[in-house]
Structure 1
Amino acid sequence: MPLTPWTYVYFAAAVQAALLALALWRRPANRQANRVLAVWVALTGIDLAVKALYWHLLAPEWFRAYRFVALFPFLYGSLFYLYVRALTTGRSFRPRDLAHLAGFGVMLVLNGYVFVMDRAQLQALSARWVAGERTVGAWFDVPLFLYSLSYVLAALVRVRGYRRRLRERRSDADRMSLRWIDVLAGFQVAIWCVAIVQALVYLPVLNYGLLFGLVAAWVCVMGWFSLGQPPVQAEPEPAEPEAEESAAGAADESRHAAVEARLAQLMGGEAPLYLEPALTIGQVAKRSGYPEYLVSAVINRRLGGSFWDYVNRLRVEAVRERLAEPAEARTILDIAYACGFTSKSTFNAAFKRQVGETPSAYRRRHAGATARAA
Structure 2
Amino acid sequence: MTFWTFVYIAGAVQAALLATALWRRPANHAANHLLAIWVALTGIDLAVKALYWHLLSPEWFRAYRFVALFPFLYGSLFYLYVRALVEGRGFKPRDIVHLAGFFIMLVLNGYVLVASRDQLQALSARWIAGERAVGAWFDGPLFLYSLSYVMAALRLVHRYRRRLREQRSDADRLSLRWIDAMAGFQIAIWGVAIVQAMTYLPVLNYGLLFGLVAAWVWMVGWFSLGQPPVQAAPVTLSSQEERTQDEHQAIATIDTARFSDVEARLAQLMSGDAPLYFEPALTIGQVAKRSGYPEYLVSAVINRRLGGSFCDYVNRLRVQAVRARLADPAESRTILDLAYACGFTSKSTFNAAFKREVGDTPSNYRRQHAAATPVT
TM-score higher than 0.5 here? Answer: yes
C-alpha contact 1:33 1:83 (8 A) present in aligned 2: yes
What's the CA shift for 1:218?
0.6
Do residues 205 (structure 1) and 203 (structure 2) align? Answer: yes
- One-letter amino acid of the structure 2 residue matched with residue 41 of structure 1: V
- One-letter amino acid of the structure 2 residue matched with residue 194 of structure 1: V
What's the CA shift for 1:47?
0.2
SS in structure 2 at match of 1:331: helix
What's the CA shift for 1:237?
3.7
Mapped partners of 1:228, 1:337: distance in 2:
23
Cross-structure match for 1:292: none
C-alpha contact 2:41 2:70 (8 A) present in aligned 1: yes
Cross-structure match for 2:184: 186
1:277 to 280, 291, 294: 280
What's the CA shift for 1:341?
7.2
TM-score by length of 1: 0.69
Cross-structure match for 1:20: 18
What's the CA shift for 1:277?
2.1
- One-letter amino acid of the structure 2 residue matched with residue 28 of structure 1: P
Cross-structure match for 1:159: 157
C-alpha contact 1:156 1:182 (8 A) present in aligned 2: yes
Cross-structure match for 2:148: 150
**What is the correspondence of 1:124-143 to structure 2 with a 5 Å cutoff?**
124-143=122-141
What's the CA shift for 1:182?
1.0
How big is the alpha-carbon RMSD for the aligned residues of Structure 1 and Structure 2?
A: 3.5
C-alpha contact 1:77 1:149 (8 A) present in aligned 2: yes
Mapped partners of 1:117, 1:99: distance in 2:
28
Cross-structure match for 1:102: 100
C-alpha contact 1:24 1:35 (8 A) present in aligned 2: yes
SS in structure 2 at match of 1:124: helix
Mapped partners of 1:338, 1:167: distance in 2:
21
Mapped partners of 1:303, 1:94: distance in 2:
39
SS in structure 1 at match of 2:228: coil
C-alpha contact 1:88 1:162 (8 A) present in aligned 2: yes
What's the CA shift for 1:61?
1.3
**What is the correspondence of 1:214-253 to structure 2 with a 5 Å cutoff?**
214-238=212-236
Mapped partners of 2:217, 2:340: distance in 1:
39
Mapped partners of 1:272, 1:205: distance in 2:
59
Residues 33-54 of structure 1: per-residue CA shift (max 9 Å, x gap): 1111101000000000000011
What's the CA shift for 1:234?
1.1
Cross-structure match for 2:334: none
Mapped partners of 2:280, 2:219: distance in 1:
32
C-alpha contact 1:90 1:235 (8 A) present in aligned 2: yes
Mapped partners of 1:164, 1:171: distance in 2:
12
Residues 213-265 of structure 1: per-residue CA shift (max 9 Å, x gap): 00001111111011111111111342999xxxxxxxxxxxxxxxxxxxxxxxx
- One-letter amino acid of the structure 2 residue matched with residue 58 of structure 1: L
Cross-structure match for 1:71: 69
Residues 290-332 of structure 1: per-residue CA shift (max 9 Å, x gap): xxxxxxxx98xx96348x969x99xx9xxxxxxxxxxxxx936
- One-letter amino acid of the structure 2 residue matched with residue 74 of structure 1: F
Mapped partners of 2:226, 2:86: distance in 1:
17
Cross-structure match for 2:169: 171
C-alpha contact 1:78 1:151 (8 A) present in aligned 2: yes
What's the CA shift for 1:205?
1.2
What's the CA shift for 1:338?
7.9
Q: 1:140 to 1:272 in 2, by over 3 A?
A: same
Mapped partners of 2:165, 2:344: distance in 1:
11
C-alpha contact 1:15 1:45 (8 A) present in aligned 2: yes
Mapped partners of 1:112, 1:56: distance in 2:
24
SS in structure 2 at match of 1:67: helix
SS in structure 1 at match of 2:32: helix
C-alpha contact 2:88 2:232 (8 A) present in aligned 1: yes
What's the CA shift for 1:280?
7.2
Mapped partners of 1:337, 1:209: distance in 2:
47
Cross-structure match for 1:9: 7
What's the CA shift for 1:281?
11
C-alpha contact 2:168 2:284 (8 A) present in aligned 1: no
Mapped partners of 2:18, 2:234: distance in 1:
27
Aligned pair count? 290
Do residues 331 (structure 1) and 332 (structure 2) align? Answer: no
TM-score by length of 2: 0.68
2:48 to 23, 47, 50: 50
C-alpha contact 1:333 1:344 (8 A) present in aligned 2: no
Mapped partners of 1:339, 1:57: distance in 2:
63
Cross-structure match for 1:354: none
**What is the correspondence of 1:240-319 to structure 2 with a 5 Å cutoff?**
276-279=279-282, 304-305=294-295
C-alpha contact 2:322 2:342 (8 A) present in aligned 1: no
Which runs of 5 or more structure 1 residues have no equivalent in the other structure?
242-266, 285-297, 317-329, 348-374
- One-letter amino acid of the structure 2 residue matched with residue 276 of structure 1: E
